[in-house]
Structure formats: C-alpha cells, structure tokens
Homo-oligomer: A and B are copies of this chain.
C-alpha cells in the first residue's frame, strides 16, 4: 500500500480550516458552527473539509479536544485534592466548559470510549489523559485515607467520568432551570462513591 506523506499545501489547508472554525466557535459558540461558513471563510470547497475530517463532528472533536487539553494542563499542575469537595472544585472548570453547550457534550460522549488504540484524535488522547490524571489523584488520596481503598483507583476514576456525564445529561435536560450548576448535583454522588469505609 502506497501512502506518501501529506504535502504542505494540505497541511496549510487543514490549518486554515481549523483556524477559521475556531474563529467562528469563539465568536458564535460551538452550536452555531456551519460547515458552509467554515469553508467559505477558509476559501475552499465543501468537499475539501470532508476530506480532512470524517464529518462535522470530527472537526468539532479536534477543536474541543484541544480545548479540553488546555483544561487538563491546568489541572495537572494542581496539587492532589485534599478532599472530595476539593476534588469537585478542581473538576469545575472542565465541567462548566462542557455545560456551556450541548454539542460539546454530544461530541465528547461520542468519542469518550475510544481507548486510544489507533485513532489519532485529540479527543481520544484527552480522554486517556483525563482518566490517568483522575487515577493518579485518587491513588494518592487513597494513600492518605481520604477516600475508600477497597477498589482500584482506575475503577474509581471511571466512576467519576460516569458521574460527570450523568450530571451533565441532567443539566441539559433541565434546560438550566432546576439546578444552579452541574457541580452541585455532583457532590452527593461523589461523596457516596468515594466515601471511606470507616
């Protein structure tokens, strides 16, 4: 199978698509992004976009993945949470980023499973990174008896992701009417999930 390296024209085109898409997203929000606008601003034909990204979600996934990466960078620089409340507080930026727009949630959910096998997507990468960070934090919290130690940190980390998605799902259903913030709903669940056994 012959596959040459992509030529630089292609890389430039891709870069232009991404930068124009990002412009739109920052000014009008993720859900306002239209494929036709992106290609118009980038000065390419519509088909070009779909030769660079599987579909619209694929493009969004790159943008969102990059954004999540930044949040993770911040989080990784933080010290290990001292308590469950502290943990939730440190989760908050990530949470409120996703909470801002339903399409962010949808895109992340659609890619959240891919276990980094081969698909070189930024989103996928961001997920393994997130779960790794959680597991590291939880492992350290276990050592100092802040949380339960009767389950592997990896399982506890997976649970956190599950609860994050859960409160976000509720958040979008409620049309922002009921709870004042997703983080509020998270507290009781994580308290129980991480509660030390004695």
Contacts and interface: CB of A to CB of B under 8 A. Distances in A.
B156 A192 contact: yes
A112 B158 contact: no
Taking the full assembly, how many copies of this chain does it contain?
2
User: Which of the four size classes fits the interface of chain A?
Assistant: 20 to 34
A192 B162 CA distance: 13
Contacts of A171: 113
A188 B151 CA distance: 9
Contacts of A173: 110-114
Interface of A: 109-115, 150-151, 155-156, 158-159, 161-163, 165-166, 169-174, 178, 188-189, 192-193, 195, 197-198
A169 B193 CA distance: 20
A174 to B, nearest CB: 5
Contacts of A165: 162, 165-166, 169
A184 to B, nearest CB: 14
A195 B150 contact: yes
30 contacts: A109-B109, A110-B172, A110-B173, A111-B173, A112-B169, A113-B169, A113-B170, A113-B174, A114-B173, A115-B178, A150-B192, A151-B195, A155-B188, A155-B192, A156-B192, A158-B166, A158-B189, A159-B163, A159-B189, A161-B166, A162-B162, A162-B163, A162-B165, A162-B166, A162-B189, A165-B169, A166-B166, A193-B193, A197-B197, A197-B198
